[in-house]
Amino acid sequence: MFVSMSLRWLPFLLLLIVACSDAPNAVGPDLDQPTAPTYPGAEAAGLDGELIHTLVARADSGDWGEIRSILIERGGTLAVEEYFRGITAEETRPVYSVTKSVTSALVGIALFDGTIASLEDSLGSYFTDYAVPPDAAGITLENLLTMRAGFEWDEWTVPYGGASNSATAIGRSTDAFQYMFDLPITSPPGTRFTYSSGVSMLIGGVLERATGTRTSDFAGSHMFELMGIPQPEWDSNTAGATNTGWGLHMTARQLMAFGRLMENHGFWEGQNIVPRAWIDLSTGQRTTTSNGMAYGFHWWRFRDGDPTISALAQNDVFFAWGYGGQFVIVVPHKDTIIVTTAGNFEGETQTFDMLRRSVFPALR
């Protein structure tokens, strides 16, 4: 009786098995469902691999202009390293105004070892070899570092290369320092932000007079060589001094190393190169700027509420920013450094869109 009843139900059991095999599997993965492409190195470092994959693909296709490299390091691991448009890891290129942030670190080294006495030191006390006008003689090192020196200057509203662009004009002058001292003072020092590569050159002049050596050599012996970086190429200005306005040339990996030094509070393999107190001081907000950002001592910051950083829990980002899209971006609360190099000389703020849409959201 049992056997005959079992055979009677067998066709129904077979139909049930077939029906179940055609139904979606509620427990295991659907092997026929395509998975979103990811970036394994990013996943291993705790980043969103899908967003990073999309970031790289969009950068390669030109969605953010002429991006040449993207590097992201998290927790000491270089999770992303991509090069585009024929650029290689070994290629050295101008980093433009990232030079200013490197110069700021050198000021911190000289200040804390006593080579520079104070941020209140004035131009008149260093440039004794020039006839510094009385209204410029009292400008302090702090005024220079915060771009509030007061000199008449226009580097932003006129394209670089134009005769009326102040940075172009100082580059064509016979003596960059004399060019600065010949400018009128249009606002009281310490009161108004005016972005000026000439002001940054004056900081280089202070460093050379304080240390008794070229700023490029001081950078080599007191920072780069200690990090295992051969002394980078560094152009001179028209006064014959190191061009601390925009003259440094580095690879993307060297920029990452500089960012790592800053993110590690000035320590490199256990050795304190840049004093931590200086990093805290120089990268903090000291003033607001005319382009909607905030500024420290030759370091940029986002203002609170900036949509670029909407995906981040804290507004602790500080960054070096060079013409055309050269960036070293430090995100302390995410233990992350981002480096980009680019040729976006007509629209370098495309990088901020890239950060907002793909990079910062990936720092989960």
55 within some domain: no
Identity (one letter) of the amino acid at 72?
A: I
CB neighbourhood size of 118 (10 A): 10
User: What CATH number is associated with residue 166?
Assistant: 3.40.710.10
66 within some domain: no
Instruction: Please report, rounded to a whole number, the percentage of residues in the chain having pLDDT higher than 70.
Output: 90
146 within some domain: yes
**Residue 334: strand, helix, or coil:** helix
pLDDT digits (tens, 9 = 90+) for 223-256: 999 999 999 999 999 999 999 999 999 999 999 9
Domain with 197, as residue range(s), is 95-248
Query: Which of 201, 192, 199, 198 is closest to 290 using CA atoms?
Result: 192
Q: Bridge-partner residues for 140, per DSSP?
A: 122
In the prediction, which pLDDT does 37 show? 87
* Total domains, the chain: 1
Task: Tokens for 7, please give them.
Answer: 């055979």
319 within some domain: no
Query: Which of 225, 112, 229, 247 is closest to 176 using CA atoms?
Result: 247
d(CA 273, CA 221): 11
More confident position, 364 or 232:
232
CB neighbourhood size of 73 (10 A): 21
Mean pLDDT of 29-57: 82
357 within some domain: no
Mean pLDDT of 174-181: 98
Mean pLDDT of 176-202: 98
More confident position, 35 or 304:
304
Mean pLDDT of 259-285: 98
157 within some domain: yes
d(CA 30, CA 55): 27
In the prediction, which pLDDT does 307 show? 97
pLDDT digits (tens, 9 = 90+) for 139-164: 999 999 999 999 999 999 999 998 89
d(CA 320, CA 142): 18
More confident position, 120 or 31:
120
Please give the mean pLDDT across all residues of the chain: 91
Handedness of CA 119, 124, 130, 135 (dihedral sign): positive
- Spatial CB neighbours of 234, under 8 Å, sequence gap ≥ 6: 99, 215, 216, 219, 242, 243, 247, 248, 249
In the prediction, which pLDDT does 35 show? 62
227 within some domain: yes
100 within some domain: yes
pLDDT digits (tens, 9 = 90+) for 10-42: 444 444 444 444 444 444 444 455 566 889 889
Mean pLDDT of 297-317: 97
